Amino acid sequence: MKNRVCMFVWNHFTNDARVLRECSALAEEGYEVDLIAIHDRKNKDLPKREMREEGFTVIRVNNSFPSVIGKIFGLSAKIKRVLTRNYYMLFLSLILFIASLWFMPLPTMVLGVIFTLLVTKKIRTFLVRGYIAMQMVMCGMRKKYDIYHSNDLNTLPQGLVCAKLFRRKKLVYDSHEVQTSRTGYNSKIYGKMEKLYIKFIDVMINENHTRAKYTEDLYGIYPEVVHNYPFVSRPENSGDVDLHRLLNIPKEEPILLYQGGIQTGRGLDKLIQATPNFKRGVLVFIGDGRIKPELEKMVHDMQLEDKVRFLPKVPVNELLHYTKNAYLGFQVLNNICFNHYSASSNKLFEYMMSGVPVVACSFPEIQGVVEKENTGLCVDSHNPISIAEGVNYLLDHPEVREQMSENCFSAREKYNWEQEKKQFLDVYKKVAF
């Protein structure tokens, strides 16, 4: 009988390459895999349930309350906009509290609590997330799964409830990020939650040994290491996407590429600041994210529209056709948290698959690969001048760039999922038996 795996992920599962690789590897090995993700009601083309051609099933739970409750939330948002912007919550809560003391204490107090819940954005967000997690647990209990697999901390409670509270089953905690030191996760509560939860897991997975050592220092356990390498690909032998023509860039101008999320701490503002010092080339961003409007404004203010171009996010299975157009690629994370400092990002290996040398940050995991395989240059990613010097060196030495490109093609035979999935499946063999 096949081992049944229930995997949780806290996203819409439209562009999650790591989870796709892991689910595919398990399905190939004969596991029956259900991946529980989150639906996006704004995306009408996204199915609630789908059988993937890779051999696993995706089940997406609602990302909003049923229509009646949703309409109540919508009404509360309208009320909120009508009310004064400053201190409206405190004022109304105080009025309702006073009224409850003199008129109808219980009904008025209940009404005050309900109103407070509805118009407070943080509480509404908390309730919606709780509703999503509850649906995930319900989906996780519909079958008799043998193994539960939680991707990152925000799905670990769901795995714990299913695997340990209701069933005596194995639980894998696959931590893709450093939960205690990452952007957007500044509260100490995340570390306290993780420290409590990992006492009940059967195995933990980290992305690299730098992060595994960090986990050991925190909690006294050394996780299994499964690197975030992509599928091996040979885009040089596949269909073309002419990025020069698409963006109306002259053929003689090298494309200097950043691909990935447009987020804080990735050194993207430093790239734009470095651009006036590039001897040649056009900086191209492929991706979307929170700070994209800020970067576009920065380009406009610096009058760099002819030197910087933006493209929206590209599907994972098409991205490498764009990547191969680049003269070089950037991976210039800033050291704003240990999650960045310890990263061995998938982006680095996507460039490698396409034979594109990198200008990269001097952080241990990234520098270790780049310098060992001679696939690019490491610079001070916090310094636009240092970035520009790295770019200009590769522009001035095309023969060095060509050798690095050849080194990328050799290195991709080592740093790929076909090799790394053996380690991942070995982890599952230990858990399953």
CA distance 328 to 155: 37
Beta bridge pairs of residue 61: 38
Domain holding 374, by residue range, is 235-415
The Cβ of residue 257 has, within 10 Å, a number of other Cβ atoms equal to 26
346 and 308, same structural domain?
yes
Q: Which residues are registered as beta bridge partners of 282?
A: 255
Q: How many helices (H) and strands (E) does the chain have?
A: 18, 14
3-class secondary structure per residue, 51-102: ECCCCCEEEEECCCCCHHHHHHHHHHHHHHHHCCCCCHHHHHHHHHHHHHHH
Are 178 and 102 part of one and the same domain? no
Let me know whether 243 and 158 are in one domain: no
Same domain, 217 and 255: no
Clarify whether residues 311 and 402 are in a common domain. yes
In whole angstroms, give the CA distance from residue 354 to residue 336. Answer: 29
Strands 376-379 and 170-174: unpaired
pLDDT per residue, tens digit, the chain (433 aa), is 579 999 999 999 988 889 999 999 999 999 999 999 999 988 888 999 999 999 999 999 999 887 545 555 454 555 445 444 445 555 555 555 555 554 445 555 555 555 555 556 667 787 888 999 999 999 999 999 999 999 999 999 999 999 999 889 999 999 999 988 887 777 888 889 999 999 999 999 999 999 999 999 999 999 999 998 988 888 877 667 899 999 999 999 999 999 999 999 999 999 999 999 999 999 999 999 999 999 999 999 999 999 999 999 988 778 889 999 999 999 999 999 999 999 988 889 999 999 999 999 999 999 999 999 999 999 999 999 999 999 999 999 999 999 999 999 999 999 999 999 999 999 999 987 7
**CATH assignment at residue 341:** 3.40.50.2000
**Do 211 and 221 lie in a common domain?**
yes
What pLDDT is stored for residue 126 in this prediction? 78
Token digits of residue 38: 């989150």
What local confidence, expressed as pLDDT, does residue 184 receive? 74
Same domain, yes or no, for 215 and 323?
no
Q: How far is the C-alpha of 306 from the C-alpha of 177, rounded, in Å?
A: 36
State how many domains the chain has.
3
Cα 215 to Cα 242: distance, rounded to the nearest angstrom: 44
Sheet with 328-331: list strands edge to edge.
308-311, 282-286, 255-259, 328-331, 358-361, 376-379
Please report, for residues 243, 283, 351, the alpha-carbon distance to residue 313 in angstroms, rounded to integers and kept in the order given.
Answer: 14, 16, 16
CA end-to-end span of the chain: 13
Who contacts 273 (Cβ-Cβ below 8 Å, separation ≥6)? 384
The residues, any chain, with a CB within 8 Å of residue 204's CB and separated by 6 or more, are 172, 173, 174, 175, 198, 215, 221, 223, 224
For residue 169 the two structure tokens come to 């089953």
CA quadruple 205, 38, 69, 83: dihedral positive or negative? positive
Q: Is the same domain home to 145 and 209?
A: yes
Q: Is 151 found in the same domain as 120?
A: no
pTM of the shown model: 0.82
- Pick the closest to residue 370 from 356, 385, 386, 387 (CA basis): 356
For residue 301, the model assigns a pLDDT of 97
Q: Is the domain of 12 the same as that of 54?
A: yes
Q: What is the pLDDT of residue 65?
A: 80
How far is it, in rounded angstroms, from Cα 342 to Cα 339? 5
Residues 196, 320 within the same domain: no
Residues whose CB is less than 8 angstroms from the CB of residue 332 and which lie 6 or more positions away in sequence, other chains included: 266, 267, 268, 270, 271, 359, 360, 361, 379, 381, 387
Dist CA 248 CA 264 (whole Å): 28
Residue 209, CA distances (Å) to 40, 81, 206, 342 in order: 35, 49, 8, 9
C-alpha span between 138 and 116 (Å, rounded): 28
- The Cα 331–Cα 268 span in angstroms is 9
Question: Is the domain of 214 the same as that of 175?
Answer: yes
What distance in Å separates the CA atoms of residue 334 and residue 383, rounded to the nearest whole number? 10
